[in-house]
C-alpha cells in the first residue's frame, strides 16, 4: 500500500466515521423526541390500546317450581353460540361453506349465500349448542367466529307460561315473573379493568381491577307443578268444550295466600316467544285483566251485611223480581220473582234484589239507598277485601280494578246498586280469589304470593313469610255463615255440577256481561262466566276461581266454569289426600 493510498483511505474512512456518527446522532435525537418529548402521548396511546374494561356477565337467577315436596326447574340458563362471519376475511367461500355445512348439518347453499353478502358481519346461525360450536371451532376457519348467546330456557315448555313471562333478546325480562323481578333476576354484572393482550386476555399485573359479577337471585315458586299441569289440562278441555275465546284458573292456599296454580288458555311456549303473533297471549289474565265479576261479587255484599249485623242469615225480605233505584229498574236474572226470601236464599238463588236490599239495610233505611250504606259497602269492598287495590303479587302488569267512591259522581246510587251484584265494578281474578280466601280461612286476608323461597346468589335459600294484610276482615262467625251460604249454592243452587260425593264444596257462580267498547250498555251475546269457591268447606285446602270468556255455547256460568272447577277440585282433593266425610 502506497503512502498516498493509505492517506486517502484514512481520510475517506474518517469521513465514513463522521457519517456514521451523524446517523447515530439523528437516531439518538429521534429516540429522545419519541421517548422523552412525546412520552406522555405514547403513554396514553398505550393505555388506550392496552386497558380494557369488560363487563363480566352475571348469570340470571333460576326459577323453580314445587313438585310435591321437591322442586324442579322452570327457568334455566344456557350459553348457546351465535355463528357469524366476516365475509371479507373468508377467502375460499365455497370451501368454508362446505366445511360448515358438514359440521352443523345445515344446507351448504345457505352458507354460500350468506358469505357472499357484502360487509364485515353476517350471522350464519343462532343457538348452536356446545357440541356443534366446538366442532366449528375445530375447523379453524379464518373470518368465521362464534359469540356467546346467553339463552333463557324453559324446560317445562308451556307450563305456567304467563306466570313466567320470557326474556327478550336484550336479556330483559318481559311479562310475568321475568318482567316483575327482572332487576333481582339479572343480578349485577361484574367489571374487569385490566391490561390485556390483543385477544383480550387480561395480563396479570398489579393494577388490574376486578369486581366479580353478582349472579341474579333465584326463586322457588309456590306453584305446584302437578296442580299447575292439571289446572292447565282441565282449563283447556273446558275452554274447548264450550268453544270459548279464552279462560283462566287460579288456585290459592287460603291458609297463607300461596298461589298453587295460575293458568291461562290459550297459551304459548316462552322458549319460542318470538314466534307469537298475538301479544295478548303474553299477559297473565289472572292478574292483568280487569272485568265485571257479576254475581260472584254478591258474597262480599253479603259479607258486609252480615259483618255489620244489618242482616242475619235468616233475615227475610220480599222479592218482587225487581227493584227501582233512582228511576232505574233492577231485575233478577231471567226476571224471576221468589216472594219472601231469607239471606241464604239470596246467595243460593243469586237474587239481585236481595243484595240491593242489603245495601239499603247497610244505610239503615230498608226503603232507600243512602250515602251511609254506600260508605259501609265501599269500606268493606276496598279496605277489607282489597278490591280497587293491586294485591302486590309478584307479577308484571297487575291491575288494581276500580270501585267508584260513594262521594264521587260516578258512585251514584244506581252504580252502587249494580256493585252489589258485581256490575259497575271491575276486579281481577287474583283479587276475587284472595278475598274469597279470607272468607274460607275465617277472616284473614293474606297477600297472594308466588314466591316460596328466595335463593340468594351464594346459594342459600330463605323461605318467604306470608304477609297477613288484615287479620280480621270479618269475624270467623260471619265467615262460617258465608261459607254455609256458599255450600248451599253447590248443594242446591247453580254450582250443583261441582258436587263431589263425600266433600262439602262452597262456591258462587257469576255470569257477567261485557261492557260494549263504545260505552253504551253491554254486548248482546258475549259474557264472562266465573266460579269462585273452595273445598272442603269446613277446613278449606284450596280456593279456586275459574273464568271462561265468551263461550260460543249459550248458557250461564253453570255450564261453562262450574264443570272445570269440579274437575280440578275433584282431582285436587285426591292429590291433597283429603279424606271424605
Partner 1 sequence: MSSATYAVRRNQNLYRRSAQLELGPVSVSFVMIAIISVLALLYLTQITKTSVYGYRLSELADKQAKLTAANQEMQVEAARLRSIQQIKSAPAVAQLVPETQVHYVR
Partner 2 sequence: MNAQPKPLRGHQPDYVLALGVFVLLALGLVMMYSISPVLSYKLLGSTTRNYYFFGQMLNIAVGLVGWIVAAKIDYRRWRKLSPLLMLVAVVMLLLLLVPGLSITEKGATRWLKLGPASFQPAELAKLAAILYLAVWFERRKEAIRTFWDGLVPFAVMLAAISFVIVVLQRDMGTMLVLALATSGIYFVAGGKLSHLMALATSALALVWLAIISFPHRVERLSTFLDPSKDPTGQGYHIGQALIAIGSGGIWGLGLGKSIQIYGYLPEAANDSIFAIIAEEFGLLGALVVLGLFGLLAYRGFKIARAAPDSFARLTAVGISLWLFFQAIINIAAMLSLVPLTGIPLPFISYGGSSMLLSLIGTGILLNISKYTIEEVRHAHSGERGRNGWTHFAVAGNGRRVKVARTGS
Nearer to partner 1, 6 or 539 (CB): 6
Is 55 a binder of partner 1 (CB under 8 A)? no
Tell me: does residue 407 bind partner 1 (CB under 8 A).
no
541 touches, from partner 1, partner 2, none (C-beta below 5 to 8 Å by class): none
Is 12 one of the binding residues for partner 2 (CB under 8 A)? yes
Q: Does 10 bind partner 2 (CB under 8 A)?
A: yes
22: Cβ–Cβ under 8 A, 6 or more apart, which residues?
none
Over the window 129 to 158, marking each residue x when it contacts partner 1 by CB under 8 A and - when it does not, the resulting string is xx----------------------x-xxxx
Q: Choose one: 70-78, 105-113, 170-178, 461-469; the region binding partner 1 (CB under 8 A).
A: 70-78
d(CA 136, CA 102): 10
Among 8, 78, 183, 320, binds partner 1 (CB under 8 A): 78
Burial of 193 (0-12, 13-18, 19+ CB in 10 A): middle
Listed in sequence order, the residues at least 6 apart from 129 whose beta carbon sits closer than 8 Å to its beta carbon are 80, 81
Task: For the segment 101-130, give every residue that binds partner 1 (CB under 8 A).
Answer: 129-130
| Contact partner, 279, from partner 2, partner 1, none, Cβ < 5-8 Å per class | none
Q: Please name which of 225, 294, 237 lies closest in space to residue 262, comparing C-alpha atoms.
A: 225
Separation of alpha carbons 144 and 85, rounded Å: 4
Cα distance between residue 506 and residue 500, in whole Å: 11
Q: From the list partner 2, partner 1, none, which binds 95 (C-beta under 5 to 8 Å, kind-based)?
A: none
Residues 45-104 that bind partner 2 (CB under 8 A): 45-46, 49-50
Using CB under 8 A as the binding rule, the residues of this chain from 205 to 224 that contact partner 1 are 205
* Separation CA 304–CA 473 (nearest Å): 10
Binding track over 347-386 against partner 2, x by CB under 8 A: ----------------------------------------
Query: Is residue 392 a contact residue for partner 1 (CB under 8 A)?
Result: no
> Is residue 429 a contact partner of residue 287, using CB atoms and an 8 Å limit?
yes
Distance set, CA 578 to CA 148, 484, 538, 542 (Å): 50, 20, 12, 11
- For the chain, the distance separating the N- and C-terminal CA atoms, rounded to the nearest angstrom, is 134
Q: How far apart are CA 492 and CA 544, in angstroms?
A: 20
Closest by Cα among 182, 177, 168 to 274:
168
- Kindly report each contact of residues 272-280 with a partner whose C-beta sits within 8 Å and lies 24 or more positions away, as own/partner: 273/166, 273/168, 273/174, 274/169
Residue 45 sits in the site that holds partner 1 (CB under 8 A): no
User: Looking only at residues 203 through 242 of this chain, which bind partner 2 when binding is defined by CB under 8 A?
Assistant: 203
- Of the pair 128, 347, the CB lying nearest partner 1 is at 128
Binding test (CB under 8 A) with partner 2, winner from 3, 7, 17, 302 = 17
Determine which residue in the list 76, 276, 390, 414 makes contact with partner 1, applying CB under 8 A: 76
Provide the residue count of the chain.
581
Query: Given CA atoms 228, 233, 234, 235 in this order, what sign does their dihedral have?
Result: positive
Among residues 32 and 496, whose Cβ is nearest to partner 2? 32
Write out the three cell numbers for 192.
374487569
- Chain positions 170 to 199 lying near partner 2, rule: CB under 8 A, are 195-199
Q: Which residues are near partner 1 by CB under 8 A?
A: 1, 3, 6, 72-73, 76-79, 129-130, 153, 155-159, 201-205, 225-226, 229, 574, 577, 579-580
Q: Which residues are near partner 2 by CB under 8 A?
A: 1, 5, 8-10, 12-13, 16-17, 20-21, 23-24, 26-28, 30-32, 34-36, 38-39, 41-43, 45-46, 49-50, 195-199, 203
Amino acid at each position: 500500500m502506497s503512502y498516498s493510498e493509505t492517506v486517502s483511505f484514512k481520510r475517506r474512512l474518517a469521513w465514513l466515521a463522521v457519517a456514521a456518527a451523524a446517523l447515530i446522532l439523528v437516531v439518538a435525537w429521534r429516540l429522545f423526541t419519541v421517548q422523552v418529548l412525546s412520552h406522555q402521548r405514547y403513554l396514553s396511546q398505550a393505555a388506550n390500546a392496552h386497558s380494557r374494561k369488560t363487563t363480566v356477565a352475571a348469570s340470571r337467577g333460576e326459577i323453580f317450581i314445587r313438585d310435591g315436596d321437591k322442586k324442579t326447574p322452570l327457568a334455566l340458563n344456557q350459553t348457546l353460540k351465535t355463528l357469524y362471519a366476516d365475509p371479507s376475511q373468508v377467502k375460499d367461500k365455497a370451501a368454508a361453506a362446505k366445511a360448515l355445512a358438514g359440521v352443523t348439518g345445515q344446507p351448504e347453499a345457505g352458507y354460500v349465500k350468506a358469505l357472499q353478502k357484502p360487509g364485515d358481519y353476517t350471522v350464519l346461525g343462532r343457538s348452536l349448542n356446545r357440541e356443534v360450536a366446538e366442532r366449528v371451532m375445530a375447523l379453524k376457519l379464518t373470518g368465521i367466529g362464534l359469540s356467546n348467546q346467553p339463552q333463557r330456557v324453559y324446560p317445562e315448555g308451556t307450563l305456567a307460561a304467563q306466570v313466567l313471562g320470557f326474556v327478550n333478546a336484550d336479556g330483559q325480562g318481559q311479562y310475568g315473573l321475568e318482567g316483575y323481578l327482572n332487576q333481582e333476576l339479572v343480578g349485577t354484572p361484574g367489571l374487569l379493568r385490566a391490561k390485556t393482550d390483543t385477544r383480550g386476555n387480561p395480563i396479570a399485573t398489579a393494577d388490574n381491577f376486578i369486581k366479580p359479577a353478582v349472579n341474579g337471585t333465584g326463586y322457588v315458586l309456590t306453584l305446584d307443578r302437578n296442580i299447575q299441569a292439571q289446572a292447565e289440562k282441565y282449563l283447556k278441555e273446558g275452554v274447548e268444550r264450550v268453544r270459548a275465546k279464552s279462560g283462566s284458573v287460579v288456585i290459592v292456599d287460603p291458609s297463607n295466600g300461596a298461589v298453587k296454580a295460575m293458568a291461562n288458555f290459550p297459551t304459548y311456549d316462552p322458549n319460542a316467544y318470538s314466534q307469537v303473533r298475538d301479544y295478548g297471549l303474553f299477559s297473565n289474565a289472572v292478574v292483568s285483566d280487569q272485568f265485571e265479576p257479576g254475581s260472584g261479587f254478591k258474597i262480599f255484599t253479603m259479607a258486609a251485611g252480615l259483618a255489620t249485623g244489618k242482616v242475619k242469615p235468616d233475615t227475610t225480605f220480599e222479592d218482587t223480581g225487581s227493584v227501582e233505584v233512582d228511576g232505574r229498574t233492577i231485575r233478577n236474572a231471567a226476571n224471576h220473582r221468589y216472594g219472601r226470601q231469607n239471606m241464604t236464599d239470596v246467595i243460593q238463588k243469586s237474587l239481585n234484589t236481595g243484595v240491593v236490599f242489603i245495601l239499603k239495610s247497610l244505610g239503615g233505611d230498608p226503603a232507600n239507598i243512602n250515602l251511609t250504606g254506600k260508605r259501609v259497602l265501599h269500606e268493606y269492598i276496598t279496605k277489607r277485601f282489597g278490591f280497587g287495590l293491586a294485591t302486590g303479587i309478584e307479577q308484571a302488569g297487575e291491575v288494581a280494578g276500580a270501585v267508584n267512591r260513594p262521594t264521587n259522581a260516578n258512585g251514584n246510587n244506581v252504580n252502587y246498586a249494580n256493585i252489589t251484584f258485581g256490575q259497575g265494578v271491575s276486579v281481577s281474578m287474583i283479587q276475587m280469589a284472595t278475598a274469597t280466601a279470607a272468607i274460607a280461612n275465617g277472616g284473614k286476608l293474606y297477600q297472594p304470593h308466588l314466591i316460596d323461597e328466595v335463593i340468594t346468589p351464594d346459594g342459600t335459600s330463605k323461605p318467604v313469610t306470608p304477609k297477613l294484610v288484615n287479620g280480621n276482615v270479618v269475624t270467623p262467625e260471619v265467615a262460617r255463615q258465608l261459607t254455609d251460604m256458599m255450600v248451599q249454592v253447590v248443594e242446591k243452587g247453580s254450582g250443583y255440577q261441582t258436587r263431589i260425593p263425600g266433600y262439602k264444596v262452597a262456591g258462587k257462580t257469576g255470569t257477567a256481561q261485557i261492557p260494549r267498547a263504545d260505552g253504551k250498555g253491554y254486548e248482546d251475546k258475549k259474557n264472562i262466566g266465573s266460579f269462585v269457591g273452595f273445598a272442603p268447606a269446613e277446613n278449606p285446602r284450596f280456593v279456586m276461581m275459574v273464568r271462561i270468556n265468551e263461550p260460543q255455547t249459550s248458557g250461564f256460568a253453570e255450564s261453562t266454569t262450574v264443570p272445570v272447577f269440579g274437575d280440578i277440585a275433584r282431582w285436587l282433593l285426591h292429590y291433597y289426600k283429603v279424606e271424605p266425610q
